[in-house]
Structure 1
């Protein structure tokens, strides 16, 4: 089995003319074959050595997804260095904490919003290398460094158990922790995932979920080193739809919040009642499904996926009705995103996160916590031995923090262990299943159920853009939906009220993680007074403003 360093050279030799990377820059598409990508990465690896970096040194990566993110990572691998990806949406203090904690000596910087503000967090003494995109800057420029040929540069060999990358968690429960992953772990996910999922030569992937996160790094980048896939990127958020249609991917994954937004985009053009009526007419139904997928740019996709957080069954069923069958998967930063998923040969079971991937062992503890052991499990948390010990069982399983049950191999997540809260009645409530039921309302984009110490829980909801402006109409519909939802819940779970918030929950305002999961503790603290006022008002539906 080839290690990841050897595999890069092998791909460049075996498929030199295959298109590998496609990147729009100022609306012109630039492409790299495997031979061209490998040559550019070798030149950058040689340049990193000229800057004084030695095998084992840490190098940061801060940028939105782009071709040069992958080229930079290839260069880091070939030079035997250690990559430290940082979310491009991270604040300056988080960037500083990660780069200092990991001991980075250099850092690639690329497509970043509010770059000056964020990059103020780069510590003094860390050499920044600017990727060749408009409005990027650094101590050295990409084009300047790769001008010189690689000459006789050869990959600086590292052992399979040597450190390859530090993957920092998204910080949903505090300061990001650095998961230690070896070259062996990196290679394992790259080799194993394409076979497990049924990836075929020539498959196209549109890379837009953060490459700094383990899932995109494993399923997209690492897999592309071993499978003959081509990667496409978006130039900006504004050009996302156009660039997706250009790529016309054959494999496509997203996260629940974006699947919801894609759905809302469809419903803005085809109201639910009209769409339902058209889908009941056989011939028209086929045409409508084809039109929806083509307009989104996903008409050639063979395999759809979702991850990051549990997806509402109602949303999965809605997409299935329009011809988009989504397979939910699960993994963690600590497992290099490896855990559960299924290929095209297995029908999904909505409401589950699929089945264990090859060589992944899963079980549930007496406390209903999901435990995992796999070949790509991290070697521990960087500089946190005590935390590493606490996260492992005596028989070598990682404590995931997810509550789950397993039935005939199918795994269902019911929430996070730490998300359970107890009401004033002494009853425990898991918020995630209730939030999934709220997602059946197409006017509700996101929800957060709270209620620790309260008589009954409540739900904070963020409305979709297409929700009606008529407050009376909106109130009547939400009250009706709340009544139906409560009939499906146990008495202690029933919601006392829905509280409509006015502020949009985003990464930049600290209410979502970079992977678009809600920061429950931050939201609870922010809206504590609003929840108390709503309870005093006694209304079933309460508006923040």
Structure 2
């Protein structure tokens, strides 16, 4: 069996166990095309040979910008890493100014792009990136170099010995990748992760995931340029799991039915949308079917693992799973055993209802700087607790500082920020990485995240407000799509809210209320404002008087990545929103 010390060892480890016929699977022109483990390795080696012939040196940087996950991404990743070069994954949706900054900051020499849209953004700034000498595309674009030119150039195996020499020269502690985090303010930071950082995170997380080696299918659709999905892909390879790459989030429903995956990773916002869609279908039922649907939902919202609710509850749950929840499973492909959630806090109600439906979500926690997993739930051995992000993975020391900040030390902690020693020293001291998150361990060792340290603020009365806690609670309302709590230095907390316009239109139609046609008209409608006020008042009861949201303003804009309000991982950009909606903020406090 191949010993795994570097990232490019994963496919060889898989081959030593079995040559999977569908190691990587991507849909081209309506057909799922399979790449076996052996083909994966052969093509990666051809890429390595070609890159050496094109003059790639150890520690050169190779950027990859892809709008969708695909087989080529993984072949390029392994092919580049085998030469001792480092990969620089870039979010396709960021502004072209950020393309320019990242490519210059990393001094990338090669860049691989997925499609014409990404290529156009790259071409607009390419002249300002003097180090960039080679650009290749994954899609065939007339007049552009296609990535298969590397496979052709690498057909001649006469320099494979040189590839092996380069591979042997790569140490497990060497830099493997630079991942630029978008952040909510300022320029992107280049997180340096070594081979050991990510390899250790895979192996130290591996016993938390109940995979049967070689017998599962995964659907991958979260951006692989994010360390969460990328680490998961290495984990799938470690377990010889067939990886099917989803076409897009828009086609997720179709892909689920086609692939019938056993596992997939997700982010809370997507799971919220899946649940809302299911819930909406339930409201359209009539008679006994509708009563049964909402009986099952109510049952699901009271779910506790390990039979804690007793025999009668479990008996009812068995009936609900047969009559109602089985339809949910069919809608998700019919064979989904597990979902892994990360990136942001997951509402406990979703954890409960999906677990009740027989599709448990194992919530975890981590950051790009920690490669990424720090903690994760495990449904086996009573390692699953709703409302927590699980227990720390193996070989990682996690502790809570006096001010409540989560600190961790272990082999998965980043090498530092690229070309920024000062910033690195600000977040790593005495070997401990300061996460910037506030949390607490319960008596059983489960970690609960309560807020972001930098996002907490004080009112003028000296009371601390944890905005994420308020926001995650308020977003349980189907009337609220996005919310940002404000009020630093003010007498009370307020909120800027982006309503769920689609749901509000349905609500208005059912109740025969005239709310107008445009978003601008909807947010001015008295009955809409009163209904959202009811929602805010209901959730306010869960908080102390100083924490309650006293006033809010509605925005007609749909918050999005392209609109600049959200990061690529769908987190709210607080600084941007405060600047963009200064008028609304002033209305709250004037």
Q: Normalised by the size of structure 1, how large is the TM-score? A: 0.92
Q: 1:27 pairs with 12, 27, 30, which one?
A: 30
Match of 2:579? 525
CA RMSD of aligned residues (A): 2.2
Where does structure 1 lack aligned partners over 5 or more consecutive residues?
A: 537-545
Q: 2:271 pairs with 259, 273, 288, which one?
A: 259
- Cα displacement string for residues 221-256 of structure 1 (whole angstroms, at most 9, x for unaligned residues): 221332211111122344232122222221222111
Match of 2:470? 434
* Mapping of residues 285-296 of structure 1, within 5 Å: 285-296=321-332
Q: Distance in 2 between matches of 1:302 and 1:527?
A: 42
Displacement after TM superposition at 1:480 (Å): 2.1
Match of 1:307? 342
Match of 2:231? 218
Q: Distance in 1 between matches of 2:216 and 2:133?
A: 37
Displacement after TM superposition at 1:151 (Å): 0.7
* Mapping of residues 86-485 of structure 1, within 5 Å: 86-111=90-115, 113=117, 115-122=119-126, 123-135=129-141, 138=144, 140-148=145-153, 149-152=155-158, 153=160, 154-155=163-164, 156=166, 157=168, 158-201=170-213, 202-219=215-232, 221-271=233-283, 275-277=293-295, 279=297, 283=319, 285-297=321-333, 299-345=334-380, 346-394=382-430, 396-408=431-443, 409-464=445-500, 465-467=502-504, 468-469=507-508, 470=513, 471=515, 473-485=527-539
Determine if contact 2:113/2:138 at 8 Å carries over to the other structure. no
Q: Distance in 1 between matches of 2:393 and 2:16?
A: 30
Displacement after TM superposition at 1:186 (Å): 2.8
Determine if contact 2:218/2:244 at 8 Å carries over to the other structure. yes
Q: Which 10-residue stretch deviates more, 5-14 or 475-484?
A: 5-14
Determine if contact 1:190/1:224 at 8 Å carries over to the other structure. no
Q: Which 10-residue stretch deviates more, 270-279 or 502-511?
A: 270-279
Determine if contact 1:65/1:233 at 8 Å carries over to the other structure. yes
Match of 2:519? none
**Aligned-partner SS, 2:23:** strand
**Aligned-partner SS, 1:101:** helix
Q: Distance in 1 between matches of 2:270 and 2:371?
A: 22
Displacement after TM superposition at 1:95 (Å): 1.2
Q: 2:81 pairs with 77, 81, 92, which one?
A: 77
**Aligned-partner SS, 1:388:** helix
Displacement after TM superposition at 1:367 (Å): 1.1
CA pair 476-21 structure 1, distance change in 2 beyond 3 A:
same
Determine if contact 1:434/1:449 at 8 Å carries over to the other structure. yes
Q: Normalised by the size of structure 2, how large is the TM-score? A: 0.85
- Cα displacement string for residues 79-134 of structure 1 (whole angstroms, at most 9, x for unaligned residues): 22111111111211111111111111111111474541355234244134434325
CA pair 497-315 structure 1, distance change in 2 beyond 3 A:
farther
- Cα displacement string for residues 433-482 of structure 1 (whole angstroms, at most 9, x for unaligned residues): 11122122122222211111322211222223222344455334322222
- Cα displacement string for residues 11-58 of structure 1 (whole angstroms, at most 9, x for unaligned residues): 335422431111011212111010111111111111111111022211
CA pair 136-344 structure 1, distance change in 2 beyond 3 A:
farther
Q: Distance in 1 between matches of 2:40 and 2:79?
A: 10
Determine if contact 2:21/2:37 at 8 Å carries over to the other structure. yes
Q: Distance in 2 between matches of 1:7 and 1:314?
A: 36
Q: Distance in 1 between matches of 2:23 and 2:461?
A: 58
Q: Distance in 2 between matches of 1:227 and 1:319?
A: 25
**Aligned-partner SS, 1:330:** strand
